[in-house]
């Protein structure tokens, strides 16, 4: 059992939209990622997805509006809801979601990460 320092983990990578696993509990994974630019519209049919901003800001576009997140704020996208995350400047995020959650949800493209790296 070890504690996890999020800043230290985030310092180990610089690429965007490539989540890393930093912990697991009860079938859920805690992931970190750096985001910049727009991600494709997608949805997760069976899994809710928590986005928590650690640094910067994030816009989560929904079909019926936009959720603006600042540092220290989080939003849970319910399963089945189309969404598009976007960061005008680099943002550092923590995700909490079932281990089965594919980062691109119902899409498969060049940003799909089948098995996130553990750091």
Structure tokens at 47: 């899994």
What is the per-residue pLDDT for 36?
97
Place of tokens 């996130």: 116
Q: Does residue 113 carry a pLDDT above 80?
A: no
What is the per-residue pLDDT for 105?
66
For the entire predicted model, the pTM comes to 0.88
When pLDDT is cut at 50, 70 and 90, the band that residue 116 belongs to is: confident
Which domains are assigned to the chain?
Answer: 6-118 (2.60.120.10)
Q: Provide the pairing of β-strand 58-62 with 65-69.
A: antiparallel
Structure tokens at 27: 């079938």
Average pLDDT over every residue of 99-107: 71
Q: Where are the beta strands (DSSP E) in 1-119?
A: 20-25, 28-38, 49-55, 58-62, 65-69, 74-77, 83-98, 117-118
What is the per-residue pLDDT for 41?
94
Condensed to tens digits (0 to 9), the pLDDT of residues 13-45 reads 999 999 999 999 999 999 999 999 999 999 999
Q: Provide the pairing of β-strand 74-77 with 49-55.
A: antiparallel
How far apart are the C-alpha atoms of 97 and 3, rounded to whole Å? Answer: 19
Q: Does residue 104 carry a pLDDT above 70?
A: no
Q: What is the largest CA-CA distance in the chain?
A: 43
């Amino acid at each position: 059992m070890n504690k996890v320092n999020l800043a230290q983990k985030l310092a180990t990578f610089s690429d965007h939209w490539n989540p890393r696993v930093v912990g697991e509990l009860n079938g859920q994974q805690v992931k970190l990622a750096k985001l910049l630019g727009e991600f494709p519209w997608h949805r997760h049919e069976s899994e809710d997805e928590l986005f928590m901003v650690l640094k910067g800001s994030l816009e989560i576009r929904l079909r019926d509006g936009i959720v603006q997140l600042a540092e220290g704020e989080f939003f849970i996208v319910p399963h089945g809801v189309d969404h598009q995350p976007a960061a005008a400047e680099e943002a550092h995020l923590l995700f909490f979601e079932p281990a089965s959650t594919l980062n691109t949800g119902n899409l498969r493209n060049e940003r799909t990460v089948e098995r996130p790296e553990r750091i």
